[in-house]
Amino acid sequence: RAVSQDGFLTVLDTIGFGDTQLPHETVVKSLRDTAIEAPHGIDALLFVLKKERVTQADQETLDYVSKLLFGPECLPNLYFIITHAGRLAKDAKLRRPWFHEQSAVSPPFAAMCAHLGAEPLRRIAFVENADPRQAEDQEDGLLVEKRRARALSDILVLLDSHGAPPYLHGIMQRAQELPRGR
């Protein structure tokens, strides 16, 4: 759990679907426990995808989350974060051509983007994977921090344009009814 300094954004991270080291039940329990930590709803569900490596398993995971686990009511709050997207993160003009090309060559990607509505690019953030531990010197460290700040800013802009009310699943409503301290 992480909260921004101004309290505007709370991120509840879960272990991911597709982790072959964990039983499916463990992942579902993690998502349920995370949902309980958001008793007033979830403003955004961020589905993280690696650029140009979207698989059938990713599509099945999204289908499971949106149809069975949370239900289709969560879709207005769904956003994609495309990682390893250096040039796309820096140059917005490259995004639309990349998106159309990727949709044409990857049926799973196209199917997943159909969940994002009529203007899917308005619900996708492109980020570089800047790792401060890989900085070779102070100058490189400053560049990494600049990339990380741009990624956070892009995600915040995406969420700021968000118009849907928080998504509230039945388990979250029940969590509101639990006595404090549980």
Handedness of CA 64, 68, 72, 77 (dihedral sign): negative
In the chain, the percentage of residues whose pLDDT exceeds 70 is 77
pLDDT for residue 146 is more than 80: yes
Lowest mean pLDDT among 82-91, 139-148, 163-172: 163-172
How sure is the predictor about 15, in pLDDT bands with cuts at 50, 70 and 90?
A: low
Q: Among residues 69, 7, 76, which one has the least CA distance to residue 44?
A: 76
Q: What is the dihedral of CA 147, 153, 159, 160, to 10 degrees?
A: -170
Task: Give this prediction's pTM.
Answer: 0.79
Helices (H) and strands (E) in the chain, counts: 7, 5
pLDDT for residue 4 is more than 90: no
How sure is the predictor about 19, in pLDDT bands with cuts at 50, 70 and 90?
A: low
Q: Among residues 121, 162, 170, 130, which one has the least CA distance to residue 149?
A: 130
- pLDDT, average across residues 35-55: 80
- pLDDT, average across residues 81-101: 93
pLDDT for residue 32 is more than 80: no
| Alpha carbon 32 to its chain's center | 17
pLDDT attached to residue 1: 58
pLDDT attached to residue 12: 59
pLDDT for residue 82 is more than 70: yes
pLDDT attached to residue 182: 46
| Alpha carbon 143 to its chain's center | 24
